[in-house]
Amino acid sequence: MKVIMPVKNDNSWEAKLNPRFGRTPFFAVVDIEKEELEFINNTAQNAPSGAGVEAAQIVADQKADLMFTPNVGPRAFSGLEKLNMKIYLANGTIKEAVEAYKNDELEEVSEPTNEAQHDH
């Protein structure tokens, strides 16, 4: 099973999840069964608008099954929902989020968790 998460840095399993999905600098891609971790750049992070939609496409390209995130806005949620991706609320580090999932401690999201964020 492949999971993708917005993260603040790309240094290790201890990287912290980023609450700003569209503007996160990196995504962590984790293969839960193999315990493999890789990082990809979020090329949408500096988009003038629609970063959440662009980031959702980056996620789609990774063919992940699940998304772990501290929150997700309406545009990103819509893009991920179209991919039939299950979204779970998670906080802390990559390692903590994966462990919480394995222990059935994460809540699945059925709607956006916050309003769209705009940089002005």
pLDDT score of 30 more than 70: yes
40-94 pLDDT per residue, tens: 999 888 877 777 778 888 888 999 999 999 988 888 888 888 888 899 999 999 9
Say what the pTM is: 0.87
Topology annotation, domain 2-108: Nucleotidyltransferase; domain 5 (3.30.420)
- Domain locations along the chain: 2-108
How high is the pLDDT of residue 106? 97
Q: What is the rounded CA–CA span in Å between residue 13 and residue 85?
A: 22
Q: What is the rounded CA–CA span in Å between residue 41 and residue 10?
A: 9
Q: What is the rounded CA–CA span in Å between residue 36 and residue 43?
A: 22
Instruction: Specify whether the CB–CB gap between 69 and 6 falls below 8 A.
Output: yes
The two structure tokens encoding residue 56: 């959702």
pLDDT band for 120, please (50, 70, 90 cuts).
very low
Instruction: Specify whether the CB–CB gap between 37 and 7 falls below 8 A.
Output: no
